[in-house]
Amino acid sequence: MFFGSNDLRDVHIHLEGWRAHRRYATDKDSFADTFFEEFHGFVESHYDDHRTIGWQGLICEYEGKDKQFEKFMELVEKFFRQKVLVEK
């Protein structure tokens, strides 16, 4: 997955564009639908922090600037394994 930068703000902006597209998409992309519905809660649980600052804000709050993208990718992989692979 390449977002043009490793800055988590850029990643978030890219994903918000994808999320907007999902509102109009007629294809069945169960991972995308699950990701946008549940990833924030997954990140909240990971950090045991339930503030309304979004998943990006939580990762930025707990990880140093040089580790934010790496942590995001780690959490996406864990989320995928838990939500997609296990629930099939």
Residue numbers of the domain that contains 66 = 8-85
Q: Output the pLDDT for position 55.
A: 95
Q: Output the pLDDT for position 27.
A: 77
pLDDT tens for the chain, 88 residues: list them: 556 677 888 888 888 888 888 888 777 777 888 888 899 999 999 999 999 999 999 999 999 889 999 999 999 999 999 877 765 5
Q: Output the pLDDT for position 75.
A: 97
User: For residue 21, what are its two tokens?
Assistant: 């597209």
Within a domain: 3: no
Q: How many domains does the chain have?
A: 1
Q: Output the pLDDT for position 1.
A: 56
pTM for the whole structure:
0.81
Strands (E), the chain: none
| CA–CA gap between residue 24 and residue 22 (Å, rounded) | 5
Within a domain: 2: no
